[in-house]
Structure 1
Amino acid sequence: MSPVPKLILQRLVLGVVTLFLVSALIFVGIELQPGDLAEQILGQSATPDTLAAWRAELGLDLPPHVRYLNWLGGVMQGDLGNSLASRRPVADLLSQRLANTMFLAGYAAVISVPVAVVLGLLAALWRNGIFDRGVNVGALSAISMPEFFVAYVLILVFSIQLGWFPTLARIDEAQSLGDALYRCFLPALTLMLVVVAHMMRMTRAAVINVLASPYIEMARLKGVPRWRIILRHALPNAAAPIINVVALNLAYLIVGVVVVEAVFSYPGMGQLLVDAVSSRDLPVVQAVGLFFAATYVTLNVLADILSILSNPRLRRG
């Protein structure tokens, strides 16, 4: 087998194994929660017969490894079980919220990726200048602040003091695209401020590393303009680490929306997870956790594959 298919196959196998291990950790974490789920659902006044019937219905009377295999087998067949709170299939609940989360993540990605790449290129172009130092200070400040703090600051400034945007990002199918973009601007801006810093710094570092290469020095000696050196020579050869960090941050935009959606009461997967934890709706918690893990692992594997395909040295093993 040639080097490229072999490397890609290795990444895919590692991704599947990682996802399997994560599913086991999710199940173990649910099992280690204190208290009896049947007693918490029915209350302390429930009779022993009622508790036994509930445990049998929930499968709590089976050994843990049997319940894990049953749950994993159902997931592989597309059956995520039923919600304990609403008695609806978990797959239906996820499908309603998944579109909202993907919309918010896509909205933030469309803004953050071009901004991060442009800022990283400009910082590399004017390295050690005032612009470079200012952008780095801003990036370090954004990285240092947690998402909920950034969100509350944006709400205080743009919603309460200026009154430009609503404090809650409520959307539904009846709204137009423009209205949805307007209502989701603050949560998208919150996510953008968090991920732009990582992508910008990686873009800057990758381009500066390539600028130290001998062929870049030859281009400078030939009188090639600096902007052309960066765009035509440095950026294509620095694509592998940039693609990697962009893919990882796209994974964060989907997986890391829990806090942001909770702050803005956005009806997405993160808010669904918070509500499920509050009501101890364990099938929903397991399903959302597994979805987030699958998304993160998939985008990590995709980042590795794109890095291999974009780098001739990696393609040759």
Structure 2
Amino acid sequence: MNLRFLATRLGMLVVTVLVSSLAIYGAMFLTPGDPATLLVGGSRDPDPAVLAGIRQEYHLDDPFIQGYWQWLSGCLHGDFGQSLVYRDSVADLIGARAGDTLALVGYASVLVLTVGTAIGTLAALRGGRTETLTTALTAGAMAVPTFVMSVLLIWLFAVQLPWFPVYGSGEGLTGTLSNLTLPAFALAMTWIGYVAQVTRTAVRAETRSEHVETARSRGVPEWTVIRRHVLHNASAPVFAVSGVGIAGLIATAAVAEQAFGTGGLGALMIEAASKQDMAVVQAVSLIFVVVFVVINTTVDLVSAALDPRAAQKGAR
């Protein structure tokens, strides 16, 4: 892999995280009024001693850069502060909810990778009506927002066909899979459509390439041609869009979590925002940004390893 490309991507990761963290911290100061009053729920007559304690804890009286550095340093050491609403450590709140989000996003990621690539590959290899039908269905899936898909799945598979529960994250492996099936599909459906479309295009292009025709003319078995030449060479764009899709799942997980009551980090952030618990909102927002950027950077690096031409273009 091109070392210049690697250094560029890692540098962009650090810069993106720093700029995002600065924006997340600074958002509190852009809110009209005293940030300390905001942190106690906007009370009209807050206790001055409470306000003073909040200003000291959140370094609101410090110069902006100094306060930002204190907050960021604490985050880097796993100290996200205390929640004024939940009366608990923000790190403990995140730890209690992170497992639900990881399970949901992991389940949805498996669906995106397996279902999306399978549909796209089948459409490209079969062609004809199969390709037309799958293209129409995946295009429709791409157009439906997550919250609309959640309502449709609840109506169909919980009301009309009571096959799956629609609230909570379940207990044990069987219970978790059962409870997370509908939210995972609701979350993944849009990206299943994207991955299927990209897979179909990439596989279709490879089946018409010169080296594939040469392999066939030499009598190489069709399945070997598809596995070694078609699917292998089509893997780079498919992996790239799949990686972006997985990062997108993290960004939209809160919608599915709220719709199905799974109680993950996205739901925690929405609850905290409605109660003006800024310490929780800032911490969860920063975690989402870091995970999103890390996944995108990893996708860029792996895509460059699969297709060195991408690294050469990115390093210019």
* TM-score by shorter chain over 0.5: yes
Instruction: Give per-residue Cα distances to partners, 1:27-74, cap 9 Å, x unaligned.
Output: 222322233343342621235555344433433222322221211121
Q: Is the 8 A contact 1:125 1:227 kept in 2?
A: no
Separation of aligned partners in 1, 2:53 and 2:71: 20
- The 1-side partners of 2:312 and 2:47 are apart by 68
> What are the equivalent positions in structure 2 for 1:115-126 lying under 5 Å apart?
115-126=115-126
Provide the residue aligned with 1:284 in structure 2: 280
Aligned equivalent of 1:145: 144
- Structural RMSD (CA): 2.1
From the superposition, tell whether residues 207 and 304 of structure 1 become closer, same or farther in structure 2 (CA, over 3 Å). same
Where does residue 211 of structure 2 map in the other structure? 215
Name the residue aligned to 2:62: 62
Task: Give the structure-1-normalised TM-score.
Answer: 0.90
Residues 221 and 256 (structure 1), Cα distance of their counterparts in 2 relative to 1, 3 Å cut: same
For structure 2, the 5+ residue unaligned runs are: none
C-alpha contact 1:102 1:254 (8 A) present in aligned 2: no
Aligned residue number for residue 3 of structure 2: 5
- Trace 1:72-221 onto structure 2 (pairs within 5 A): 72-127=72-127, 129-171=128-170, 175-221=171-217
1:124-179 deviation line (CA, Å, top 9, x unaligned)? 1123x1111111111111111110000011111111122222221243xxx22111
**Residues 53 and 114 (structure 1), Cα distance of their counterparts in 2 relative to 1, 3 Å cut:** closer
1:87 Cα deviation from its structure 2 partner:
2.8
2:172 is aligned with what amino acid?
A: S
Cα pair distance change 1:67/1:207, threshold 3 Å: same
Deviates more, 1:254-263 or 1:108-117: 108-117
Structure 2: how far apart are the matches of 1:296 and 1:22? 11
Q: Which residue of 1 aligns with 2:12?
A: 14
Aligned residue in 2 for 1:252: 248
SS state at 1:59 partner: coil
Pairing 1:229–2:225 present: yes
Q: Distance in 2 between matches of 1:275 and 1:64?
A: 27
Preserved contact between residue 139 and residue 193 of structure 2 (Cα < 8 Å): yes
2:46 match: 46
Asked if structure 1 preserves the Cα contact closer than 8 Å seen for 2:29 and 2:35, the reply is no
- C-alpha separation between the residues in 1 aligned to 2:149 and 2:208? 36
Mean Cα displacement is larger for which, 66-75 or 269-278?
66-75
Q: CA 1:52–1:138 in 2, change beyond 3 Å: closer, same or farther?
A: same
CA displacement 1:272-316 (0-9 Å, x = unmatched): 111110111111111111111111110111101111111244567
Instruction: Tell me by how many angstroms 1:123 deviates.
Output: 1.3
Work out whether residues 19 and 297 of structure 1, in 8 Å CA contact, stay in contact via their aligned partners in 2: yes
How many residue pairs end up in the alignment? 311
Matched residue SS, 1:85: coil
- The alpha-carbon distance between structure 1 residues 57 and 15, as it changes in their structure 2 partners (threshold 3 A), is closer
| Percent of residue pairs bearing the same amino acid type | 36
Structure 2 residue 282 is matched with structure 1 residue 294: no
TM-score, with length taken from structure 2: 0.91
